[in-house]
Amino acid sequence: MSAPVPAGPVAAVPAAGKPSSVPAAAAAGPVAASSVPIDAPASADPGVGEYQFGFSYPDKSVFRTRKGLDEEVVRAISELKEEPDWMLANRLRALAAFGKKPMPAWGADLSDIDFDEIVYYARPQDRPKGSWDELPEEIRETYRRIGVPEAERKFLAGVGAQYDSEIVYHSIRADLEKKGVIFCSPEVAVKEHPDLVRKYFGTVIPHNDNKFAALNTAVWSGGSFVYVPKGVKVDIPLQAYFRINSESFGQFERTLIIADEGSFVHYIEGCTAPVYATDSLHSAVVEIIALPGSRVRYSTIQNWSSDVYNLVTKRAVAYAGATMEWVDGNIGSKRTMKYPAVFLMGEGAHGEVLSIAFAGKGQEQDTGAKIIHAASNTSSTVTSKSISKDGGVASYRGMVKVGEGLRGIRSRVVCDALIVDPRSTSNTWPTMEVLSDDVAMEHEARVSKIGDEQLFYLQSRGLGEAEASAMIVNGFLDPLVKQLPMEYAVELNRLIELEMEGSVG
Amino acid sequence: MDLVIRNLRASVAGKPILRGIDLEIRAGSVAALMGPNGSGKSTLANVLMGHPAYAVESGSATLGGVDVLGLPPHERALLGLFLAFQYPVEIPGVTVAKFLKRAVEAREEASARAAGREYGGMDVSAYLRELRAAMDFMGVDRSFINRALNEGFSGGEKKRMEVLQMLMLKPRLALMDETDSGLDIDALKVVAAGANRLRGPDFGALVITHYNRILEHLKPDVVHVMYKGRIVVSGGPELVERLEGEGYDWVREEAAAAPAEIEALAAEASA
Ligand SMILES: Nc1ncnc2c1ncn2[C@@H]1O[C@H](COP(=O)(O)OP(=O)(O)O)[C@@H](O)[C@H]1O
Ligand SMILES: [Mg+2]
């Protein structure tokens, strides 16, 4: 597959980056592509000027679908990916469900999303590369500025980099590949490992689970596919990096991780986007299958720019003796709704969610966790820390459910919220549904304000107010940050400092 | 640096607490401040450091000629003012090492700037050496380097930590608010030794206390007694002995014997 298909419903656009008007013929086609150069520097919007990944490059996508979503767009994406019929059928079924499902009636305000104004697919280059040098310069430069190649050299076992809709770069350490570890894009997995994909795809999050999961299932593109064979421990993390470059764009990556019996893997997801005047949508689906005795840790530090709606469905099933850990840091975006879930399906399974949310100016972080105890002797821990500042709203929304007739269930939920100033808001909405008796459940929720005494103490030692409150916020997050790999802890601290800078006092 | 306080009046939550404080602490000298609970001793310390809850109504306070009352707290600290808190707060998750490093760095930078020198950045290994030595001197276990500031510390550990910070920040004028309260003899000696270590022509202190014990070690040059927001008696070390022997009753009587002042107080209270 070397060139986009010029005929048919998808119109190709020259890859040239110079400002060009949309060819009339293409515009007239059912799926017209447009290539509007976008070069808004981060400083274009003073309100979000602190966002350091706000740069962008001219859109040079080799093609993209027209705005809006219908069957033709879905078929175009599937055709372009040369998918088997079963995947197309799955997409179309999900598209129908998307049309029928209502918007969530709770959570963050999503009324600004205009599904007709979004571009659902944009392909930045022809095929993924195995070396950074082969990438188009802008894309290579983007990842260099974000620091991905450097991180790869230093502490990663494999890297996938997605730019708009497609994975543009992929690598995995040779020794892991030899042991049978698979780390590739889901498109490659559909072609090369169809049995695994058919067995697990959509089994944890059904195509009609919720409106945004249905949308993702209809138009998914990119993401990761990970398979770790029995007993294999991947000692250092795999990482996927998601970058939105286009404006008014929807990114719908799809991730499927299968940890076979007794295996271990730590998968890290990072993301950024340029700052535009219009909103983009990021709506991912992540499904994880932790087979008996395995352990999976999935860490995210979401740092989307302040115009991205981040509406993500993440769910894992953990079988007997398996451990699933979500580490979920939400720093960026305009609105986030995300509640990583663990279904504890076998005895001895353990689920853990660590959630960190930072809601600054104009941001709403509606995050939390969902734990379903479906087997005896299972345990779960949810730790949520949120910070709200400059009018931001941080909400914890959690659910712990214990099925009928179970024994030896333990669950502990701790929510800590820190409110930095009186304009900001913190909410806690925990739900518990317990249908068994032999259950030990704890729930603690604390809301604190940055104390005047704490601020004054640090100020009296020579620290300015902004630095003093950043120090208190970092201290508040510290117990969670300690559980991140060092490099990410440093990154998170830095992000928090950026968020805190200059806006206090 | 001289600390000069003139007719300082301050209130908290609309209630007048300091009712005209006049006090001078000459560079290199140590003054003790005593007085019954509720007199306003901590209020004075907080007002001088710039606590936002206290409102200065009138009067002035200068440190080395600089009016400190108009500065934000951190700038007062960078000038060389230090407050050892009566009740140090806990700061979860912020380690002693991290916090003190920033505080020392800020102070070094400000000193360099004040002296017209370029600040070349911190010598981190020298800082750590000094910190370890200061911890050893103060009898603070080195494991405290990585503990969260004051979190879960005992009362005595908190007080030692205050003096440890003072040693590291080398203030020119330290306000020590009941640093000796609740300490056993050994801790008391260590705390006093910490303050004495800084003594010299460039270090002055206002030591707020109820007890002679610490003053035996610190040997203040002058003793002031505060009552109802004013300095009512000042004198030499012999005052301390009298207070220990007789309590504060005679101070109250002495204050009451000044009818003009009582009237002024009454007028203020009803205002
Ligand atoms: N933050 C505050 N809020 C309200 N009242 C205060 C506050 N601080 C001090 N006060 C009041 O001011 C008076 C003097 O208190 P303080 O300065 O702590 O006295 P001392 O240190 O001499 O015992 C007391 O009546 C006390 O209740
Ligand atoms: Mg006091």
DSSP structure string for B205-232: EEEE-S-HHHHHHH--SEEEEEETTEEE
Between A456, A462, A471, which is nearest B94 by CB?
A471
In this structure, the answer to whether residues A228 and A252 fall within a common structural domain is: yes
Between A457, A462, A479, which is nearest B91 by CB?
A457
Question: Quick check: A479 pLDDT over 50?
Answer: yes
Bridging pattern class, strands A425-434 and A393-402: parallel
Residues A408-427 have a mean pLDDT of 93
Confirm whether A52 is domain-assigned. yes
Does B165 contact A461 at a Cβ distance shorter than 8 Å? yes
- Supply angle C-alpha A194, A63, A12, rounded to 5: 105
Looking at beta carbons, which residues of chain A come within 8 Å of B50? Answer: 456, 459-460
Average the pLDDT over each of A17-21, B140-144, B204-208 and give the range with the smallest value: A17-21
In this structure, the answer to whether residues A434 and A463 fall within a common structural domain is: no
Confirm whether A281 is domain-assigned. yes
Question: Which pLDDT tens digit goes with each residue over A230-244?
Answer: 999 998 889 888 888
Confirm whether A273 is domain-assigned. yes
For the CA of B178, the closest atom of ligand 1 is 21
Residues B152-156 have a mean pLDDT of 94
Does A465 contact B88 at a Cβ distance shorter than 8 Å? no
Model pLDDT, residue A271: 75
Q: What is the share, in percent, of chain B residues with pLDDT greater than 70?
A: 94
In this structure, the answer to whether residues A281 and A429 fall within a common structural domain is: yes
In this structure, the answer to whether residues A491 and A433 fall within a common structural domain is: no
Confirm whether A145 is domain-assigned. no
B53 contacts chain A (CB < 8 A): yes
The partner residues of A202 in beta bridges, in order of sequence, read none
In this structure, the answer to whether residues A368 and A468 fall within a common structural domain is: no
Three-state secondary-structure class, residue B119: coil
Question: Which pLDDT tens digit goes with each residue over A152-166?
Answer: 887 787 888 888 888
Task: Report H helices in A29-147.
Answer: 71-80, 85-100, 137-146
Residue A47: band (very low, low, confident or very high) from pLDDT cuts 50, 70, 90 = very low
Closest residue by CA, ligand 1 atom 10: B12
Average pLDDT, chain A: 84
- Which of A435, A453, A471 terminates a domain? The answer is A453
In this structure, the answer to whether residues A275 and A338 fall within a common structural domain is: yes
For the CA of B36, the closest atom of ligand 1 is 22
- Phi-psi map region of A4: left, alpha, beta (phi>0 left; psi -120 to 50 alpha): beta
In this structure, the answer to whether residues A429 and A468 fall within a common structural domain is: no
Contact A342, A350 (CB under 8 A): no
Contact B160, B139 (CB under 8 A): yes
Q: Which tokens is A290 given?
A: 């932790």
Q: Which residues form ligand 1's pocket by a CB distance below 6 Å?
A: B 12-13, 17, 35, 37-43, 53
Question: Which pLDDT tens digit goes with each residue over A306-361?
Answer: 889 999 999 999 999 999 999 998 988 999 999 999 999 999 999 999 998 999 99
Does B93 contact A457 at a Cβ distance shorter than 8 Å? no
For residue B39, report the distance from its CA to the centre of ligand 1, in Å: 8
Residues B145-157 have a mean pLDDT of 95
Model pLDDT, residue A487: 64
Q: Which tokens is B96 given?
A: 């002693």
Model pLDDT, residue A424: 93
Q: What span, in angstroms and rounded, lies between the C-alpha atoms of A442 and A444?
A: 7
Counting ligands in written order, the one closest to the CA of B39 is: 1
Closest residue by CA, ligand 1 atom 8: B43
Residue B46: band (very low, low, confident or very high) from pLDDT cuts 50, 70, 90 = very high
A405 contacts chain B (CB < 8 A): no
Residue B265: band (very low, low, confident or very high) from pLDDT cuts 50, 70, 90 = low
Between B53, B93, B165, which is nearest A475 by CB?
B93
Question: CA of A60: how far to CAs of A125, A143, A364, A493, in Å?
Answer: 8, 16, 32, 34
Question: Quick check: A194 pLDDT over 90?
Answer: yes
Does B93 contact A458 at a Cβ distance shorter than 8 Å? no
Mutate to test the interface with A, among B43, B63, B94 (most CBs of A within 10 A): B94
Confirm whether A200 is domain-assigned. yes
For residue A154, report the distance from its CA to the centre of ligand 2, in Å: 54
Does B106 contact A462 at a Cβ distance shorter than 8 Å? yes
For the CA of B208, the closest atom of ligand 1 is 21
Q: What is the share, in percent, of chain A residues with pLDDT greater than 90?
A: 56
Question: CA of B7: how far to CAs of A483, B60, B209, B231, B269, in Å?
Answer: 54, 7, 22, 11, 17
Confirm whether A429 is domain-assigned. yes
Looking at beta carbons, which residues of chain A come within 8 Å of B49? Answer: 456, 460
Q: Where in the sequence is the domain holding A319, given as residue range(s)? A: 175-453
Contact A215, A98 (CB under 8 A): yes
For residue A462, report the distance from its CA to the centre of ligand 1, in Å: 24
The count of domains in chain A is 3
Query: What is the chain B residue with the closest CA to A463?
Result: B74
Residue with more model confidence, A190 or A303: A190
In this structure, the answer to whether residues A492 and A449 fall within a common structural domain is: no
Confirm whether A28 is domain-assigned. yes
In this structure, the answer to whether residues A216 and A319 fall within a common structural domain is: yes
Model pLDDT, residue A159: 86
Residues A192-198 have a mean pLDDT of 97
Model pLDDT, residue A306: 86
Question: Which pLDDT tens digit goes with each residue over A423-457?
Answer: 999 999 999 999 999 999 999 988 888 878 999 99
On the CB side of A337, CA atoms within 13 Å amount to 17
Burial label, A277 (beta-carbon count in 10 A; 0-12, 13-18, 19+):
exposed
For the CA of B229, the closest atom of ligand 1 is 14
Burial label, A458 (beta-carbon count in 10 A; 0-12, 13-18, 19+):
buried
Phi, psi of B253 (to 5 degrees): -60, -45
Query: What is the chain A residue with the closest CA to B86?
Result: A457
In this structure, the answer to whether residues A229 and A85 fall within a common structural domain is: no
A71 contacts chain B (CB < 8 A): no
Question: Which pLDDT tens digit goes with each residue over A486-503?
Answer: 666 666 776 777 666 643
Residues B7-32 have a mean pLDDT of 96
Closest Cα partner for A372 from A431, A418, A425? A431
What ipTM was estimated for this complex? 0.94
Between B74, B76, B85, which is nearest A463 by CB?
B74
Counting ligands in written order, the one closest to the CA of B86 is: 2
In this structure, the answer to whether residues A408 and A482 fall within a common structural domain is: no
Query: Number of Cβ pairs closer than 8 Å across A and B?
Result: 78
Q: Where do the domains of chain B lie, and which CATH numbers do they carry?
A: 3-89+171-270 (3.40.50.300)
Q: What span, in angstroms and rounded, lies between the C-alpha atoms of A34 and A66?
A: 7
For residue A113, report the distance from its CA to the centre of ligand 2, in Å: 57
A483 contacts chain B (CB < 8 A): no
Closest residue by CA, ligand 1 atom 2: B12
Confirm whether A137 is domain-assigned. no
Model pLDDT, residue A486: 65
Residues A264-275 have a mean pLDDT of 84
Residue with more model confidence, A45 or A65: A65
Average the pLDDT over each of A45-54, A489-498, B65-74 and give the range with the smallest value: A45-54
In this structure, the answer to whether residues A283 and A415 fall within a common structural domain is: yes
